[in-house]
Structures are given as structure tokens and as C-alpha cells.
Amino acid sequence: MTIRRQTHAIQIGIVTIADRFDIAAVSMFRQTADQILLQTNYIVIDMTTVSFFDSAGMAALVNVLKRVREQAGDIRVIWPTSEAARRIVSLTKFDRVFTSSPSMESALRIW
């Protein structure tokens, strides 16, 4: 019998967004996402402390989701703890479109 053991490490990019994730912040988010996508197609987006989330931020998230999927990668989102910001996530059904994780620890454990 021959047993061969292999390990495969996945590089995971982590983007942490704080305070306002709106049209004014989208450009910086896109630049950061572009840099990460050059290195890996596995991304965690941590929005835990986002207090304001608008439609431009949503469009930017979908853009990253589609690019990751095109490369057969995967994305996890940690939604804001702010109830008001979370309501927008559920109104737009983003909580169904994206795979979410309750914490960074659980997001990283999946892979």
C-alpha cells in the first residue's frame, strides 16, 4: 500500500471596512479588492463596524462577488452588527446572495 499525504494551503484575502461604506468609499474599496484579486480568489469582507451602507457599496460588493465567481473562487461576508445597516442587507436580500459568516473565525474555518 502506498499512502501519499498532501497539504494545500489557500491564501485568503481579508478586506475590513469600517464606518461608512458608501459612494465616497467605493473607489478605495475597489482598489483594495483589485490588489487582493491579483493574489487570491478567496476573500473575506469584514463589515462588522460598518454603520452606513448604501447602494453604491452594494454594487461594489456584487462586482467583487462576480469577479471571484468567474475565477472559481469564493467569498464570505461578515455583515454589520448595526441593526439599521443589517436591515438594508435583508431588504435587498443580500443575505441570500452572499454567503455570510458571523465572525472572522468562522469565516476562515470554512476553508
Partner 1 sequence: MVNIVMAARIDTLVEIATAIRQFLHTLPLLDDDQQTTYAIELAVHEVCTNIILHAYTATDLGSIVLNARFHPYQKQLEINIYDWGTPFSPEHRVLPDLEDGQEGGYGLFIVEQLVDSLHYRRIATTNHWRLIKNIGAAHDHSSSNPRYPNRDRDDS
Q: Residue numbers of the site for partner 1 (CB under 8 A)?
A: 20, 22-24, 52, 54-56, 58-59, 62-63, 65-66, 83-85, 87-88, 91-94, 96-98
Task: Decide whether 37 or 52 has the Cβ nearer to partner 1.
Answer: 52
The DSSP element (H or E) to which 42 belongs, if any, is strand 42-53
Least separation in angstroms between residue 35's CB and partner 1 is 20
The closest alpha carbon to 36, from 89, 79, 77, 75, belongs to 75
Least separation in angstroms between residue 86's CB and partner 1 is 10
Residues 6+ positions from 20 with CB-CB distance below 8 Å: 50, 51, 52
Least separation in angstroms between residue 21's CB and partner 1 is 12
